Amino acid sequence: MTRCVLQLSKYCLSLALRDGNLQDIVNQGSLHEFLASLHGQFGPVASFWFGGRPVVSLGSVDQLRQHINPNRTTDSFETMLKSLLGYQSGMGGGATEAVMRKKLYESAVNNTLEENFPLLLKLVEELVGKWKSFPKDQHTPLCAHLQGLAMKAVTQLALGDRFRNDAEVIGFRKNHEAIWSEIGKGYLDGSMEKSSIRKEHYESALAEMETVLMSVAKDRKGQRSQTAFVDALLQSNLTERQVMEDSMVFTLAGCVITANLCIWAVHFLSTSEEVQEKLHQELEDVLGSEPVSLDKIPQLRYFQQVLNETVRTAKLTPIAAQLQENEGKVDQHIIPKETLVIYALGVVLQDADTWSHPYKFDPDRFTEDSARKSFSLLGFSGNQACPELRFAYTVATVVLSTVVRQLKLHQVKGQVVEARSELVSTPKDDTWITVSRRS
């Protein structure tokens, strides 16, 4: 088996899940819920079985601090996606190649945000303008609207102006949803392998998406305009296959992470008029009457706290993993070489030993240095944050700044919002708010 982070092929993963604790995972509803139960029963270090493969799960900051390498160059979420998709490129090239590719992706994300920031503002303004036109008592569906925004923003910024055509976005979204629904659920419970219809639907959508991405790369190669994420990849020494695979991972994960960060942030804001007013005041202090700009975003520190707390409270990405390259040790526990080590991030993000009142949405907790350090250790901020999350933070900041400047958000009375925790946590059903104009 290839020695890299979570280097399991689709076949191996589904095969491994047929035995062991599969039924326990299915009974709990998701891998996250299973891990929460497991750590509640056995403490911060626990083990279980994926078929014949032993797995160690770490469920507290102290234990993760002993295991996480702060200098690691591979992104566990990206590698997990590549593994589930059956992609291999860039996953075994050594530390030097990993550092170069990390720098390439960071540069690509920064460049596309700089070049396309006016477009991002326009897309957000269009959505907020639509919300402003609604009557005060009209229910606004967050999932439907913000998934649409994320799909437009990610495709246009990552892949270029071909996706200013609504028909292209609709086709992309159809295939995206078919692929993600299986990656997010089917491979984790092994059920897709038992359904030839589902498997055929997934493979057809994946093949169609790959064809589109190869076509995009071919069309943009040699263009003078270098504004999209894919353009930076094309300027590197990556192969055509690598460019396609990396574009697939960025657009798949970017759409889901961006949409759900925005959905959960707006939902949580609707529950707290106080947080909305603090955000509005920060806009006045930092921007005055000027629109948000890329260079001013780092000065919006309370916005950063709100998004950090959104990620924490929603358990936005509840699972990460590493393959143990050499024998290791956590506390008194020996972890043998090539053991799969799961980081139960969803458990850690709501651990009462790390976070006071862990189920409360409280952005002020991130004024404390200890909270910021724990959050960074888990890979949600600083150098360890994945490119898709950094992209999502920028989009979410534009969304929140535009919304709170013009509108007040209100809860829908009696609504109960429950999370579905897969690779990315999303509301089980659409989430609704009402809006009123800010006077």
Contact (CB, 8 A) for 406 and 439: no
In which residue are the tokens 């919002």 written? 417
Structure tokens at 416: 């109960």
Partners of residue 410 on adjacent β-strands? 434
Q: Residue 80's closest CA among 183, 190, 218, 197? A: 183
Secondary-structure breakdown of the chain: helix, strand, coil percentages, each rounded to the nearest 5: 60, 10, 30
Q: Residue 39's closest CA among 50, 28, 23, 26? A: 28
Half-sphere exposure of 206 (CA within 13 A, CB side): 18
Q: From CA 328, how far away is CA 175, in angstroms rounded?
A: 41
By the 10 Å C-beta count (0-12 exposed, 13-18 middle, 19+ buried), 28 is classed as: middle
In 203-351 the beta strands, taken as DSSP E runs, fall at 320-323, 328-330, 333-335, 340-343
Number of other residues whose CB lies within 10 A of the CB of residue 336: 11
In which residue are the tokens 């360890």 written? 384
Helix axes 387-406, 273-287, angle to 10 degrees: 90
Contact (CB, 8 A) for 342 and 5: no
* 386 marked ligand binding residue: yes
Nearby residues of 22 by Cβ (< 8 Å), 6 or more positions away: 50, 51, 189, 190
Binding residues for heme: 386
Binding residues: 386
